[in-house]
Amino acid sequence: MAGVVEEIGDGVSGLTVGYEVFGFTGSSGYAELALAPAGQLARKPEAVSWEVTAALPVAVNTACQALADVDLKSGETLVVDGAAGGVATVTVQLARHLGATVIGTASERDHEYLRSLTAEPVTYGDGLAARIRTVAPKGVDAALDVRERAR
Same-domain pairing of 71 and 105: yes
Q: What is the span of the domain harbouring residue 16? A: 2-44
Q: What is the pLDDT of residue 74?
A: 97
Report which of 58, 135, 115, 46 is spatially closest to residue 90, judged by C-alpha positions: 58
Same-domain pairing of 106 and 74: yes
How many percent of the chain have pLDDT more than 70?
94
- Type of residue at 123: T
CA 8 to chain centre: 29
**Four-residue CA torsion sign, 65, 69, 73, 75:** negative
Residue 58 and residue 69 in contact, taking contact as beta carbons nearer than 8 Å? no
Same-domain pairing of 140 and 88: yes
Report which of 108, 135, 113 is spatially closest to residue 124, judged by C-alpha positions: 108
Residue 80 and residue 91 in contact, taking contact as beta carbons nearer than 8 Å? yes
- CB-side neighbour CA atoms (13 Å) of 34: 21
Same-domain pairing of 83 and 9: no
Same-domain pairing of 83 and 14: no
Same-domain pairing of 122 and 73: yes
- Region 22-37 average pLDDT: 77
Same-domain pairing of 24 and 75: no
Quick check: is 50 in a domain?
no
Same-domain pairing of 91 and 27: no
Same-domain pairing of 84 and 140: yes
Same-domain pairing of 64 and 121: yes
Same-domain pairing of 40 and 62: no
Same-domain pairing of 91 and 26: no
Q: What is the pLDDT of residue 147?
A: 74
- If you count them, how many residues does the chain have? 151
Measured between alpha carbons, how far is residue 54 from residues 11, 17, 22, 124 in Å?
26, 19, 6, 30
Q: What is the pLDDT of residue 28?
A: 60
Name the maximum alpha-carbon separation found in the chain.
Answer: 60
- Domains held by the chain: number: 2
CB atoms within 10 A of CB 77: 20
Quote the mean pLDDT of the chain: 91
Element (DSSP H or E) covering residue 36: none
pLDDT digits (tens, 9 = 90+) for 46-99: 999 999 898 888 888 899 999 999 999 999 999 999 999 989 999 999 999 999
pLDDT at residue 109 greater than cutoff 70:
yes
Q: Which domain CATH number covers 91?
A: 3.40.50.720
More confident residue, 79 or 2: 79
Quick check: is 90 in a domain?
yes
How many percent of the chain have pLDDT more than 90?
70
